[in-house]
Amino acid sequence: MSQLFSPIVLGKLTLENRIAIAPMCQYSADCGKATAWHRIHLGHLALSGAGLLIIEASAVEPAGRITPQDLGIWDEATEQALSEVVKDVRKYSAMPLGIQLAHAGRKASTDAPWHGGGFLRPEEGGWQTSAPSAVPFNETDGTPLALTKARIEEIKQAFIDAAIRADRIGLDLIEIHAAHGYLLHQFLSPLANQRDDNYGGSLENRMRLTLEIFREVRRVVSAHKPVGVRISATDWVEGGWDLQQSIALSTALEAEGCAFIHVSSGGLSPAQQIKVGPNYQVPFAGGVKEAVNIPVIAVGMITEPEQAEAVLNDHQADMVALARGMLYDPRWPWHAAAKLGAKVRAPEQYWRCEPHEVKGLFKQ
């Protein structure tokens, strides 16, 4: 039996298989509100046969957006817009849906990638950014404001309120974004966090905000819904956040009731030196998996079914997540099931497309 197509439990949520669709920013929202693009995008990914679909990084406050076009979940209007999209997707797909809650910190206020992705100053449609310390991501960016204790409390409350909204919409899972150089990762990394209060300095202090936000989100979300965390296992910069610190964070999160750890890397510093190749981030997931007893999700140029199967059989992770690969091939789980001799769920409207050589592929 294919390990990739065996069920797995995250917290109290059972998934049909171990393929997750990772959050992918679309930069297509209207003042934070989901649009027709999200209905189309999420709708067709929800027909892919994956075990889980996690909605893109959704800002918990307007200043937490990466770009002005980012999806948000910070007020009634953004909640309602996303709720309508989720309801439409659910009419035709039973795939569990999660959401990634995020704040971009000093990496906020940038242009969409297809417009160059550069920093936007207020006169260009951007806004004043904030961060653990007044250290910009790039030297050419505006200097972020160092967060006061009062602003930290406001951001914590924004995560709590966003989680309540996501729960109310009926989403099945919450992922807190502490990766890719965004705000919580900025607090974790000594390269970005130069504070001298109880949120900076020691590893315990640098982990404090992520643990506090996790604890509060877990408290307000329905008990049967898993809450997990996305981390960057390393900054890929000497003296920065690394695997050993990631293991310390993961074990602390596990002790707080974290349902899963989703392991990525990088994004904190332009000085990063990443050796990109197939499975290039999988060893980090393996390192975390050795230290915790909760499910670990691996990512990183996992493109072939046999490759994904091997990651699981080699006990390097409990699930694999695809992002760009799923955009390139939105039926990747179908094709993987065909190669691995497994079955996959597909909408009945598409049953007629089942190739003769793989009859019985679709669950009926």
Q: Coil, strand or helix: which one is 97?
A: strand
Which residue carries 């920065």 as its tokens?
240
Taking residues 72-87, what's their average pLDDT? Answer: 98
Q: Residue 293 has what DSSP assignment?
A: S
Phi, psi values for residue 152, rounded to 5°:
-60, -40
pLDDT-above-90 percentage for the chain: 99
Per-residue pLDDT of 225-272, as tens digits, reads 999 999 999 999 999 999 999 999 999 999 999 999 999 999 999 999
Whether pLDDT at 137 is above 90: yes
The single-letter code of the amino acid at 192 is A
- Our answer to whether residue 182 is catalytic in this structure is yes
Whether pLDDT at 58 is above 90: yes
If we measure between CA atoms, which residue out of 308, 345, 335, 314 comes closest to residue 16?
Answer: 345
Per-residue pLDDT of 105-136, as tens digits, reads 999 999 999 999 999 999 999 999 999 999 99
Taking residues 64-72, what's their average pLDDT? Answer: 98
C-alpha to C-alpha distance for 59 and 267, rounded to whole angstroms: 17
Per-residue pLDDT of 297-349, as tens digits, reads 999 999 999 999 999 999 999 999 999 999 999 999 999 999 999 999 999 99
pLDDT-above-70 percentage for the chain: 100
What's the CATH code, domain 8-363?
3.20.20.70
Whether pLDDT at 364 is above 90: no
Taking residues 130-149, what's their average pLDDT? Answer: 97
- How far, CA to CA in Å, does 38 sit from each of 23, 35, 83, 232? 12, 5, 11, 26
Cβ contacts of 110 within 8 Å, gap of 6 or more: 66, 67, 117, 118, 119, 120, 126
Tell me what pLDDT residue 132 has.
98
Per-residue pLDDT of 197-218, as tens digits, reads 999 999 999 999 999 999 999 9
CB count within 10 Å of CB 353 equals 11
Q: If DSSP states are collapsed to H, E and C, what string results for 42-61?
A: HHHHCCCCCCEEEEEEEECC
Tokens of 28: 């297509």
C-alpha to C-alpha distance for 359 and 342, rounded to whole angstroms: 11
Contact criterion met (CB below 8 Å) for 229 and 251: no
Partners of 178 in the β-ladder: 231
Burial of 252 (0-12, 13-18, 19+ CB in 10 A): middle
If we measure between CA atoms, which residue out of 91, 86, 12 comes closest to residue 54?
Answer: 86
| DSSP result, 83-126 | HHHHHHHHHH----EEEEEE--GGG-SB--GGGT--B--GGGT-
Per-residue pLDDT of 82-104, as tens digits, reads 999 999 999 999 999 999 999 99
C-alpha to C-alpha distance for 239 and 244, rounded to whole angstroms: 12
Contact criterion met (CB below 8 Å) for 50 and 23: no
Name the region of 345 (left: φ>0; alpha: ψ -120 to 50; beta: rest): beta
pTM of the model: 0.97
The residue extents of the domains of the chain are 8-363
If we measure between CA atoms, which residue out of 171, 286, 156, 264 comes closest to residue 213?
Answer: 156
Per-residue pLDDT of 10-19, as tens digits, reads 999 999 999 9
Catalytic residue (one of 27, 92, 182, 199): 182
